[in-house]
Homo-oligomer: A and B are copies of this chain.
Amino acid sequence: MSLERHLKAKKAIPIWRKEDRADHIYRVAAEVMCRKGYEATSMNDIAEAVGLTKAGIYHYIRGKEQLLFEIMNFAMDMVDEDVIGPAREIPDAEERLRTIIGRHVKRILEVGGAVTILLEEMAALTPAHQRTVRNRKRTYFELVRQTLEQLATEGKLRDVNPTVAAFSLFGMILWISRWYRRDGELTPQEILRDFQEIALRAVLRTEARSTERAVTTLRK
């Protein structure tokens, strides 16, 4: 994907470079905000971290609340493109759940946890921005919950409430953003494999089949 982007950038530098730059600002700003805390972070801190003057950063971003909102949308755009979109094309509920978990975890491991952690900073948003982000989160939650309900209908879900199961899965997935360290002992591949095993076993009734398929999917 970064290659694809690179090629696009070559074709139309002005537009694509700007977009790349914005993505870079989002990621770095998210890291600064997570380290220092959102309120304690100034636009100066962010400008410094991304190597722009204060005037330069205001070329991309109107202000700190706007930046936070854009980071959250950036995070949800990734979820839309890399998780929700592909998942919606899978009719089989078990396969869809596996895809959702695997793709979301991969994304967190690749991009780093900061943008995910910032999704919790709802109190800092304007009411209108809060509504937008809340709706986007709800759409995702409903996809997972409905997938679990479909599994319940098929007799594949454990004897648990699909809402409790959905929240449990979200808790496990989103928490990775808080503990995963790139320089840690475990490789992303090891974490992804073990995590899929844990998450699927947590909610799926059909033991043998799940594992077998999970392993197959992950080796792809």
- State the A residues within 8 Å of B (CB): 34-40, 120-121, 123-124, 158-161, 163-165, 167-168, 170-176, 178-179, 186, 190-191, 194-195, 197-199, 201-203, 207
**By the criterion CB–CB under 8 Å, are B186 and A161 in contact?**
yes
**By the criterion CB–CB under 8 Å, are B207 and A35 in contact?**
no
Taking a contact as CB atoms closer than 8 A, the residue among B40, B161, B168 that contacts A39 in the complex is: B40
23 contacts between A and B (CB under 8 A): A35-B123, A37-B38, A37-B39, A37-B124, A38-B39, A39-B39, A39-B40, A158-B197, A160-B197, A161-B186, A161-B191, A164-B194, A165-B194, A167-B175, A167-B179, A168-B199, A170-B179, A171-B171, A171-B173, A171-B176, A171-B178, A174-B175, A199-B202
A70 to chain B, nearest CB (A): 18
Taking a contact as CB atoms closer than 8 A, the residue among B36, B163, B165, B174 that contacts A171 in the complex is: B174
A168 contacts across to B, CB distance below 8 A: 172, 175, 195, 198-199
Query: In whole angstroms, how far apart are the Cα atoms of A123 and B38 in the complex?
Result: 9
When C-beta atoms are compared, the residue in chain B nearest to A170 turns out to be B175
A158 contacts across to B, CB distance below 8 A: 197-198, 201
Where chain A touches its partner, the secondary structure class is helix
Taking a contact as CB atoms closer than 8 A, the residue among B39, B159, B174 that contacts A197 in the complex is: B159
**By the criterion CB–CB under 8 Å, are B39 and A160 in contact?**
no
The 8 tightest CB contacts between A and B, nearest first, are A171-B175, A39-B39, A202-B202, A37-B123, A160-B194, A164-B194, A171-B172, A171-B171
A124 contacts across to B, CB distance below 8 A: 37, 40
**By the criterion CB–CB under 8 Å, are A123 and B172 in contact?**
no
**By the criterion CB–CB under 8 Å, are B37 and A198 in contact?**
no
Query: In whole angstroms, how far apart are the Cα atoms of A201 and B40 in the complex?
Result: 41
**By the criterion CB–CB under 8 Å, are A195 and B164 in contact?**
yes
**By the criterion CB–CB under 8 Å, are B194 and A198 in contact?**
no
A36 contacts across to B, CB distance below 8 A: 123
**By the criterion CB–CB under 8 Å, are B167 and A176 in contact?**
yes
